[in-house]
Structure 1
Amino acid sequence: MRTKRSKRMYIGDLIDATTDLSGLYYRSPFERGYLVHWDVELAVWDRVISGDVLACTPSETNLVLTEPVNNLHQIQRSLDEIVFEEYQFASLVRAPASRFSMLTASDLIYNGKLLPQCVLVVDVGHAFTHIVPYCNQRQIIQGIRRVDVGGRLLTNYLKETVSFRYWDMMDETFIMNIVKEKCCFVSQDFKRDIEATRGCIGRRKGNSSLGLEYVLPDFTTNNKHGFVLDDQSDISDSQLLPLCNERFAIPEALFYPMDVGIEQAGIHQAVEQAINACPLEMHRLLFANIIVTGGSANMPGLSERLQSEIQKLTAYKARVFTSSDPMFQAWQGACKAAAEGVGDWRLTKGQYEEMGAERAILHYITACKDGKPILRDGSTGDWLGTFVGHKGAVWSAMLSSDTLRAVTASADYTVDGGFYFDSNVCSKVWNAITGQELVSLMHDNIVKSADFAGSNELVATGGQDKSVRIFDVNRPDKPTIVASHTAPVRSVKWTQHRNMIISADNSRHINIIDVRAPSVAHTLETPENIASISLTADGKTLACAAGKRVLAWDIDSFKLVKDFNVDYEVSVAAINPTRTRMVVGGKSDLLIRCCNFDTGKQIDAHKGHHGSVHDACFSPDGQVYATGSEDGTVRLWQANPGSEYGLWQYRHI
């Protein structure tokens, strides 16, 4: 807080040192929810770690911080630098507040006995409201929604309304925020309450039971925050602020943002949109396990109204839960995470000194016959680290969805007068931040493909023994065989859409495996032998290169939606996230072709590789695609040539 007259800054508890709060205004380190004013933030940190508050020694302290959903990478880099270079903290864990709030779901829903498999968190924050669905403690990326209404907007809305109707309160942000917190509530029947308060605006309470008067502070006789007038209050010489329908009309902006000029869905509609964007089998659980958190969740009636509005939009049973103090719910979840162990969430100072701030960058991983998988910068292709431990060719490498772990599939062997397979090291799981090997998965033959199956703890593998296995990395000696092919398995991929594993063999069969059963739910057949398969970013469309054909299936219906005949042998096919373009690699002519996905018509062709193309993949935003070849190179190509992105950025002077 800062006063306009003296420019003195009050940080946290220092506000208690002043008796005159008039003219105080917030000086936040955040703009629209993002940390941009580091001078303010560092002043807050200095106060918190000082001897008067926590009295902690940063070098001996593990720091846990919340950040916005989909935080900007540059802000994450700056945060890492401040934490480790300026303050020298021992370690850092950062995650969205919704992720920590999600960890309290067991206490709210099942009395601490069980954490629900699926939880949807509605975080009514200061700058905006985030709706974030979780399954098995993982964000469902395609279901994240944001509504640009939060506590700050509601305070400003109230301030402007009462300034127009009653007293000029435009310079009293701090006081009006207190008035909002003490007086506002969410109406359960807006039309009824509007009718009940008709005619009471500007009058002292009027005839409505919903009206009240707030005694503004005079900073002499009454307390500096003011208070709600009751029958016993001494109001001689006091300045009264009458409040009537303002009490419930202001929070209505959460449900109808158009009231304040924001062309977005209300939070109840955003919840429905978020859940509908998730796999169908999650819908019932997500509607039943909705948690409301954040400072504005303290307003009476919010959870009840939200549940009522959501129930009108769905046939599923809707349940909304709020803790007794939702403002501190993320803090409680963070304490729980710290007590139970944060594992791969943590970045230590030693790891930071080794890797720098690069953790904030998008990554991709490459595999090669030299047995050395490499982690690379997602936008530039720069080398970040090598996973050392395999003895033979690595056929497949995948990152987990949160990029914290990697899994590799290999043809490991040892030379001792000949070649033999070492059954202990054919597939490995790694810490993607440190490069440390976490576990080896036992096989009796070459593993050609591996992927995480829904969480960092489950891995699906397939290879020369014609079987698809699921491993629990905590019990790697007890894999489950979930499918058997008639030919060696070429590729195994997991899709979060419907939580399925897709496996393809060297002949003409593709198995769709339900992870929950686990068993084969459907089998697809191709007209020619399969060269490769790939999935779109949302996991809803499967592409297959087979002979001189490019095929695509809808994962929901298992129907063939595209079948293109070409005049060359196809080695790989990948579809962009918007399903408007696809990339096709030739087996012998070495060309990379960009085609229209609707018509199959070739748009462009690129040369560069000197060997057959084995794999292709689009970036999550569709701006770049990567191709990997027999020539030992991975090449990045612009999907929209001429735009500035990643390597293709220009310095303007």
Structure 2
Amino acid sequence: MPQEQGPLICPGHSRPVAGIEFSRETEDGVFLISACHDKTAMIRSGETGDWIGTLEGHKGAVWGAALNPPATHAVTCSADFSAKVWDALTGDELYTLQHKHVVRCAGWAPDSTRFVTGGKEKHLRLFELGEAAPADPLLLQGHTACVKVCHFIGDRQTLLSAGEDKTMRLWDLRTGSTQREIEFSGSVNSVELTADGRIMTVAAGTEVSFWDLTSWQCLKRFSLGVIAANGYGVNSASLHPNRKAFVAGGGNFWVYQHDFETGEELACNKGHHGPVYGVRFTPDGKAYASAGDDGTIRFWNFAPPEDGAAADATAAAAAPES
């Protein structure tokens, strides 16, 4: 087999990278935002990985970061019991929003007029973004443990959240009530939505599952226990835009490619020197990024193996390193 090209390594962070997210395609391109325990978030080109800017100001680890749809604003979430709103074009800090415990995640409404935060408070805070600093957020209560994921679904009135209580909740923001609850076998560590908002990819416990967001039926579920060999679970998963493959990463330092239809392992990428906390495909599907405990972000080219090549790729990945 030909020698595979190694990943593009993006240094810059000095502590574990807790998560990564690509922006949507914008007039200025695609951007990648990373959250890191070195108290910063970084914005990079989503095409080249080139550094664009660093958001500095938190006094504790940054656990989550999210760009709004046009990538003009960002929210960062920190162990210093605060979330910060930033001008993503200039890097200026706009607002600091105090919480009562560690903030782990944030999500923007499609129209960028509101955003939500979640974390160890066990509930969600919904902020309206206007000319003045957001105040008096709506509290959404129901979770019994740390909230690790929050996303708007479809419009500005529907929200999902999930976390360490192994439960996903769907909220109607007009009433502040829960519309639906889904139970998982382990902590929900990552949720990704397809660009068209039709499919949800969930990494929970040792499983990756895929859900139809119209019927809320589970389409596929795969156990990836090999990733969780040392107890970290599957930390993150991402579905390719053509829905033929997905990637996943977790506690055993490697990043895996799988066939979407069968769950068969297609390839295994080695290189990280610690657990992998985030994996995401680029919007065009030509590459994916991974990040983790070693403080690096790595861009991997994605080329689906030809028919019959999956077994060869799996065998090569299982071979001991020289």
Q: Give TM-score, length-normalised by structure 2.
A: 0.79
Find 1:444's aligned residue among 100, 105, 109: 100
8 Å CA contact retained: 2:250, 2:277: no
| 2:194 is the alignment partner of 1:566 | no
| 2:52 is the alignment partner of 1:384 | yes
8 Å CA contact retained: 1:618, 1:624: yes
Distance (whole Å) between structure 1 residues aligned to residue 114 and residue 195 of structure 2: 20
Could you tell me which runs of 5 or more consecutive residues in structure 2 were left unpaired when the two chains were aligned: 1-23, 229-233, 306-322
Residues 92-241 of structure 1: matches in 2 within 5 Å?
none
Distance (whole Å) between structure 1 residues aligned to residue 99 and residue 127 of structure 2: 11
The structure number with the bigger radius of gyration is 1
8 Å CA contact retained: 1:549, 1:566: yes
Counterpart in 2 of 1:229?
none
Distance (whole Å) between structure 2 residues aligned to residue 436 and residue 378 of structure 1: 21
| 2:69 is the alignment partner of 1:401 | yes
8 Å CA contact retained: 2:209, 2:222: yes
Q: 1:382 to 1:641 in 2, by over 3 A?
A: farther
AA aligned opposite 2:88: A
AA aligned opposite 2:247: V
Counterpart in 1 of 2:247?
583
Find 2:91's aligned residue among 417, 432, 435: 435
8 Å CA contact retained: 2:109, 2:156: no
How far off its partner does 1:485 sit? Answer: 0.1
Q: Please state whether the residue corresponding to 1:367 is helix, strand or coil.
A: strand
Counterpart in 2 of 1:466?
122
Q: Please state whether the residue corresponding to 2:43 is helix, strand or coil.
A: strand
Find 1:634's aligned residue among 285, 297, 301: 297
Counterpart in 1 of 2:21?
none
Q: Give TM-score, length-normalised by structure 1.
A: 0.40
AA aligned opposite 2:212: D
How far off its partner does 1:516 sit? Answer: 4.1
How far off its partner does 1:371 sit? Answer: 0.9
Find 2:139's aligned residue among 481, 484, 487: 481
AA aligned opposite 1:532: S
How far off its partner does 1:619 sit? Answer: 1.5
8 Å CA contact retained: 1:554, 1:560: yes
* Residue-by-residue CA offset, 1:259-294 (whole Å, 9 max, x unaligned): xxxxxxxxxxxxxxxxxxxxxxxxxxxxxxxxxxxx
How far off its partner does 1:641 sit? Answer: 7.3
Could you tell me which runs of 5 or more consecutive residues in structure 1 were left unpaired when the two chains were aligned: 1-140, 143-358, 413-420, 643-653
8 Å CA contact retained: 1:564, 1:600: yes
Q: 1:498 to 1:436 in 2, by over 3 A?
A: closer
Distance (whole Å) between structure 1 residues aligned to residue 40 and residue 156 of structure 2: 33
Residues 347-386 of structure 1: matches in 2 within 5 Å?
360-386=28-54
AA aligned opposite 2:166: R
Counterpart in 1 of 2:78?
410
AA aligned opposite 1:479: P
AA aligned opposite 1:620: P
Counterpart in 2 of 1:455?
111
Distance (whole Å) between structure 2 residues aligned to residue 621 and residue 407 of structure 1: 24
Q: 1:360 to 1:532 in 2, by over 3 A?
A: closer
How far off its partner does 1:602 sit? Answer: 0.9
Aligned pair count reads: 274
How far off its partner does 1:377 sit? Answer: 1.0
Structure of higher RCO (CA pairs closer than 8 Å, 6+ residues apart): 2
* Residue-by-residue CA offset, 1:32-82 (whole Å, 9 max, x unaligned): xxxxxxxxxxxxxxxxxxxxxxxxxxxxxxxxxxxxxxxxxxxxxxxxxxx
How far off its partner does 1:582 sit? Answer: 0.6
RMSD (Å) for aligned C-alpha atoms: 2.2
AA aligned opposite 2:52: L
Q: 1:566 to 1:365 in 2, by over 3 A?
A: closer
Q: Please state whether the residue corresponding to 2:135 is helix, strand or coil.
A: strand
Counterpart in 1 of 2:275?
612
